[in-house]
Structure 1
């Protein structure tokens, strides 16, 4: 991290997307401030007045104050060009150019799984958090649970991780070292004491207007290999997190609930519309994320033997020349099957463990 990384954030008129665009063009914040007006205008295609604003270095005094503030409050600053920056988050098109972290920054690069849901969690939702995290903790070395420290499912996921002695990361929509909601300050202290971390993209001079929650949710999704929606009504922030996860090619999973339960309406719709994979236990999550194909398969429980395929299923499986994912449209075209027949055969192949459905109606041969 350099002072230029912070100053880029503090420069008037740049904004988050502008900072990411400039970093993609020039490679580093130092190179941006070393460029000429002509370079900035021609290579980054920004307005001349904005280029001159950058070169006036108006953000440097505020950046110096921010560095001192973070030193006093034991906040670590990680720029997107630093080796400690989470590689999964860096894949997002709108990644934060700077992260502010309290606690163990290494937790951000573990086997991260996002677990989110409604603020009006039911006992069923809280129980499923415990069940899923306990099962994962037994089988996945280096597991980390990521959530947003909000009421309901979020804090239940953090507490389940703490109870299972698993590091957990809370992504906040406020500046550090503050905690929102204040009622969860005790949980935040436990997260830090147990090897986890508190993370935000907001510097201390950010204007707090309560509009950062949706932006925060994209970070929750981006930090993780997959996202589990435990409980959700048919609207809410957790569904936006699922959308963010899907848009950056993360695996979206959902816990089913009763058809009559309002708090499961959103998760049931995600599953019905094939926007999320149904998961009921830790094994389901492990196989969806392919963590059972890790570096040390001996640590994972063997899968059940694959059932014999029917002749029709075998013919469809032969249409997968490699393990590269194939869109549903391609399979329909090459197989010549009608939608009903194709769907039935794909379900049979998936149940047998021969293929796996991926986000975006794609299928991959295992």
Structure 2
């Protein structure tokens, strides 16, 4: 991704009234964020309904200047600026209609890990909730050692999820409701620094952005969107964890909850999720792994398929098979780049290969050669 495209993508987030959905629609209509600014005078012909006020904002240098300053800040502080079309962008999040067009990441983990979960809950975690985080992640490490754990670095369940992941050698990402020029709450700075060594910090917000109330809801959609499943550990009758669960459902992602005693204040939310069939009840990591159909038995040996017996592969199908054979499990974006094919053609080829029993789809949109 070019520096100009990154800066233009950041600038697009600074145009009032555009929003994540509008920004993505503009990029899809014009072809790139850079073209939106360089060809803004032609937008009325390309994008029906674009307002004069938006045209005025796009023609102003203000947003681009702010974006250039943010890009310089990111480079100075070794922060990765990731646009929505980058291969490093969380592919699960990209599937969501309101995904941010630009993200800022500092860390060392792959956000497109094979298995990604988020653990969320009340800021007033009880001993019961803390024990669930600790035991669940220890058991999950034994069953699925490659899981990436996402949460919001907040008080309570969030921070215990991050610490439980670190204690068990699992990568963990904290999604922030502010820029990467600060850590909120500041008492979690030590954990945040530790996460940079095995995970990282992620945000859509520019530096100098305060952790205002509305930003936490925006943060929650990233937590839900970049994960295969949401796990609610403890929640009162209202709270951010329930918002994350609702968002996960709207994205058609799996949602789970640990039950609690009916009289416990911080179990009411979880019990209601289960009662209303908005979340599946789990009691252990084993329950979760079975529900997700994640084959965690590393000793299981898949039945080998003699690919040389497939004589009906087309030339393009063979190209994809060769790439998978050389690179191993791959996401569609990687295959598109390697094969130099349009994404719609790659979708068709992968579907045909799946029907022929040559590949299978894994969690996270990964394709595996059989």
The one of 138, 143, 153 aligned to 1:139 = 143
Q: Distance in 1 between matches of 2:98 and 2:299?
A: 34
Tell me: CA distance 1:243–1:297, structure 2 relative to 1, closer, same or farther (3 Å).
farther
Q: CA deviation at 1:283?
A: 1.5
Report what 1:274 is aligned to: 277
The one of 191, 194, 199 aligned to 1:190 = 194
Contact 2:157 2:234 in 1 (8 A): yes
The one of 288, 298, 304 aligned to 2:300 = 298
Q: Distance in 1 between matches of 2:133 and 2:9?
A: 38
Does the alignment pair 1:238 with 2:241?
yes
Does the alignment pair 1:7 with 2:7?
no
Report what 1:220 is aligned to: 223
For structure 1, the 5+ residue unaligned runs are 301-366
Contact 1:41 1:48 in 2 (8 A): no
User: For the aligned residues, what is the CA RMSD?
Assistant: 2.2
Tell me: CA distance 1:104–1:40, structure 2 relative to 1, closer, same or farther (3 Å).
farther
Report what 1:152 is aligned to: 156
Q: Distance in 1 between matches of 2:281 and 2:180?
A: 36
Task: Map 1:97-176 to 2 at 5 A.
Answer: 97-176=101-180
Q: TM-score, normalised by structure 2?
A: 0.75
Contact 2:179 2:210 in 1 (8 A): no
Q: Distance in 1 between matches of 2:20 and 2:65?
A: 19
The one of 29, 33, 45 aligned to 2:49 = 45
SS at structure 2 position matched to 1:10: coil
For this pair of structures, how many residues does the alignment match? 298
Contact 1:107 1:197 in 2 (8 A): no
Report what 1:261 is aligned to: 264
Tell me: CA distance 1:127–1:297, structure 2 relative to 1, closer, same or farther (3 Å).
same
Tell me: CA distance 1:110–1:176, structure 2 relative to 1, closer, same or farther (3 Å).
farther
Report what 1:289 is aligned to: 292
Q: TM-score, normalised by structure 1?
A: 0.76
Tell me: CA distance 1:76–1:230, structure 2 relative to 1, closer, same or farther (3 Å).
same
Q: Distance in 1 between matches of 2:39 and 2:109?
A: 32
Does the alignment pair 1:58 with 2:62?
yes
For structure 2, the 5+ residue unaligned runs are 303-370
SS at structure 2 position matched to 1:189: helix
